[in-house]
Amino acid sequence: MRPSFYPRLVNGPFDDPALFVPFFFEKRALLFDMGDLHSLAPKELLKITHCFVSHTHMDHFVGFDTLLRIFLGRNNTLHIFGPAGFLQNVEGKLAGYTWNLVENFDHNFVLKATEVHAQYTLTRVYRCSEAFAPNQPPERAPFDGTLLKEPFFSVETTLLDHNTPCLAFKLSERFHVNILKDRLKKLGIPVGPWLRRFKEALYQERDPEGDFEATWKEGGKERKTTFCLGDLARQIAHISPGQKMVYVVDAVFSPENARKIIDIARDADQLFIEAAFLHAQADVARRKYHLTARQAGMLARKAGVKSLTVFHFSPRYLNTPSLLEKEAREAFLTASTGSDGMQGG
């Protein structure tokens, strides 16, 4: 199955983290954490519509300015999410600059920020044309774990303990539509932009008895054929479970965090998870509210994820990053014979 999302860590495992997730089928991307964003090209940054910030320790939020700088003076809306205290952090960042000439800008960039609490969210809008002054009080909404829901994907979160709330995120494609090219060929219709409309019709659950028009160009001429949507879907589409990607950073290894991480990561295709320390330094990891590589690997195994990527390594391992990867991989592939710390660890 050709993936719909292509998640990639923007930096190496020792750098300030950010996971960039471009979409295959449109010029759009999501971003998880705003660490060092300098290696993303402006055209990539401008694809971002939603950013999910785990917590506002500097290493996860320092890229805010890079993002703001590139979006400023554009007619875009950027929606960012973060844990308790997020609105204050965002307002503090915005207050760090002088905005006296922005009302002359031709474009009106809008920043929307949502602060996530266990039972509710607070959303506030900051407009460039208003010098980012928050003119309305935050809007409060009940929260059930889902941050963003669109016809073809959703983003959910869970609150972890890092001695401050830290959000872990799951991006799920609702289902995956695979186009059967050989069947398409038999119908005598070429691939083209109409397939995107066709997929959208499926995600929007349009009436399967309704008409769907496939249009394409042949020899410079417009061609079209009308199908019954449901019939066409049965003929050329294979529907399978959607892609699932999970992002977990800074969290202490407690029974509650372990349960929440396993829950959110269950059966994910890809898990990106911090592995700050080797298990030999588990006491340091605990004091700093981080996971060890062995704990990260074990959580991935218990969640049944298909692919594991560890990152966010402590600089003390700068010369030996492979040790962290090896320890995580061993715990991922093999059940530990000793205590893996699920009870007391």
User: Minimum Å distance from CB 306 to Zn ion?
Assistant: 25
Give the CA distances from residue 99 to residues 16, 96, 128, in Å, rounded to whole numbers and listed in that order: 28, 10, 8
- Least distance in angstroms from the C-beta of 19 to Zn ion: 13
Q: Quick check: 245 and 270 in contact, CB under 8 A?
A: yes
Residue among 89 and 243 whose Cβ is closer to Zn ion: 89
Q: Which of residues 82-111 bind Zn ion (CB under 5 A)?
A: none
Q: How far is the CB of 301 from Zn ion (least distance, A)?
A: 23
Q: Which helix (H) or strand (E) holds 246?
A: strand 244-248
Question: Rounded CA gap, 324 and 342, in Å?
Answer: 20
Q: How far is Cα 305 from Cα 269, in angstroms, rounded to an integer?
A: 6
CA gap 118, 7 in Å, rounded: 27
For the bound state, the minimum distance from the C-beta of residue 259 to Zn ion, rounded and expressed in Å, comes to: 20
Work out the number of other CB atoms within 10 angstroms of the CB of residue 123. 17
Instruction: For residue 269, state whether it binds Zn ion (rule: CB under 5 A).
Output: no
Nearest distance in Å: CB 274, Zn ion:
7
Query: Which residue shows structure tokens 């980012």?
Result: 132
* Comparison of 252 and 268: residue with beta carbon closer to Zn ion: 252
Amino acid at 111: L
Q: What are 278's two structure tokens?
A: 């080797």
| Cβ neighbours around 217 below 10 Å, total | 10
58 vs 335 by CB, closer to Zn ion: 58
CB-nearest residue to Zn ion: 57
Size of the site for Zn ion (CB under 5 A): 3
Stretch that binds Zn ion, among 132-140, 175-183, 242-250, 320-328 (CB under 5 A): 242-250
| 3 state SS of 341 | coil
Single out the residue of 33, 250, 325, 340 in contact with Zn ion (rule: CB under 5 A). 250
Comparison of 65 and 200: residue with beta carbon closer to Zn ion: 65
Binding positions for Zn ion, 46-65, rule CB under 5 A: 57, 59
Nearer to Zn ion, 5 or 61 (CB): 61
Binding site for Zn ion (CB under 5 A): 57, 59, 250
